[in-house]
Amino acid sequence: MLNNSTNSYTDSFKVAFFLYKWRKPLVILGLAAALLAAVFSSHFFITPLFKSTVIMYPASSNSISKSLLNENAIAKQDILEFGEDEQTEQMLQILNSNRIRDRVIRKFNLAQHYDIEPGSRYEQTRLNNRYESNITFKRTEYMAVKISVLDKDPQMAADIANQIASLLDSVKNDMQKERALQGFKIVEDEYLKLQAEVRLMEDSLTQLRKLGVHDYETQAEMMNQQLAMEIAKGNAKGIKALDEKLSILATYGGPYVSIRDALEHEKKQLSYIKARYEEAKIDAYQEIPQKFVVENAFKAEKKAYPVIWIIVILSTLGTLLAGMLVIFIVERSPVFLQKLKQTYS
């Protein structure tokens, strides 16, 4: 235990002696490194960048019909509820898509803004790389999504961040609308087909009613009772008239009952399909915001990059460590030791 403490003390003494011995070169080296780092990290050599951010939460529901029109309490979604992990990951994926990237590049003419010559070699690759290095998306610790934009123009940085947040709605709504329109077309075709069938059945019942068939069961019962009374009276004329009506009822009663029962079933189906039709129509043609914006971007008042003091400190420390290593290696070399002996002999 004592031996370890002695060794530690000896090592510390050697380091202190080494630093003291080479204090002047190290101080000069450190000052030179700090000065050069400050100069080369200034705006004369590095373009300062300003940072703007937007923070937002995804919405939990993307369907207006499910949020507002669905009668099922379990399936119903709250239109005001914030999204969870799944919606956050979906939002990040859309933000990183070329649908948004290409629109931002076109709107702000970023190729010219980033000084990328049109028609130059790897023009699109360089543009995309510059875009990805200046514009980032990440999830915060509170499950929100943060859009960060760096740019040499502070107003441009804020405008790009806000524009990306705005584009999220249109891009996601467009993606969903493609599918919603297809679904609406399927439901609409089924709804119109069923509507036409119901109308045809109603027309058929109307024609049967014109022939005298209004309510087969009731009419048949009443006519049979009346016929029995006329037969009991011996009224030949009344019997003949009732026989004619019963003949019509016998001819068209069966089709009337079949059509009537089928019409009742089809009307129930039509009511159900109509509700789905209205929901699909709303989803296909109406739009709702896909996010809750917590913080909009604003024009930054001071630059975010480069941070000169960090560059100066890191450069100075790195230079000092490198200098100490070089001195240590040189000091231990045989040539150096021989020259040192010759100097002091």
Q: State the residue for tokens 């891009």.
A: 171
CA trace torsion 218, 223, 226, 231 (10° rounding): -150
Is 251 within a domain? yes
Q: What is the rounded distance in angstroms from the CA atom of residue 187 to the CA atom of residue 168? A: 28
Is 244 within a domain? yes
Is 227 within a domain? yes
State which residues form the domain around 249: 191-285
Q: What is the rounded distance in angstroms from the CA atom of residue 1 to the CA atom of residue 155? A: 64
pLDDT in tens, the chain (345 residues): 445 555 555 666 666 766 666 677 777 877 877 777 666 665 655 677 889 999 999 887 666 566 555 555 444 455 567 667 788 888 999 999 999 999 999 999 999 988 888 888 888 999 999 999 999 999 988 888 999 999 988 999 999 999 999 999 888 888 888 888 888 898 889 989 998 988 998 888 888 788 777 776 777 777 777 767 767 777 777 777 767 777 777 777 778 788 888 888 888 888 888 888 888 888 877 777 778 888 898 988 787 666 566 767 787 888 878 877 877 777 666 655 566 556 655
Per-residue pLDDT, 73: 43
User: What pTM value is reported for the model?
Assistant: 0.63
Per-residue pLDDT, 2: 43
Q: What is the rounded distance in angstroms from the CA atom of residue 40 to the CA atom of residue 268? A: 79
Q: How many domains does the chain have?
A: 1
Is 178 within a domain? no
Is 201 within a domain? yes
Per-residue pLDDT, 20: 67
Is 259 within a domain? yes
Q: What is the rounded distance in angstroms from the CA atom of residue 278 to the CA atom of residue 256? A: 32
Q: What is the rounded distance in angstroms from the CA atom of residue 137 to the CA atom of residue 10? A: 52
- Residue 88's DSSP bridge partners are none
Q: State the residue for tokens 């509507």.
A: 195
Record the tokens describing residue 10, joined without a space. Answer: 């000896």
Is 69 within a domain? no
Q: What is the rounded distance in angstroms from the CA atom of residue 106 to the CA atom of residue 155? A: 17
Per-residue pLDDT, 127: 92
Per-residue pLDDT, 75: 45
Is 212 within a domain? yes
Q: What is the rounded distance in angstroms from the CA atom of residue 152 to the CA atom of residue 51? A: 9
User: What is the DSSP secondary-structure string of 47-104?
Assistant: --BEEEEEEEEEBS---HIIIII---TTT---TTPBP-HHHHHHHHHHHTSHHHHHHH
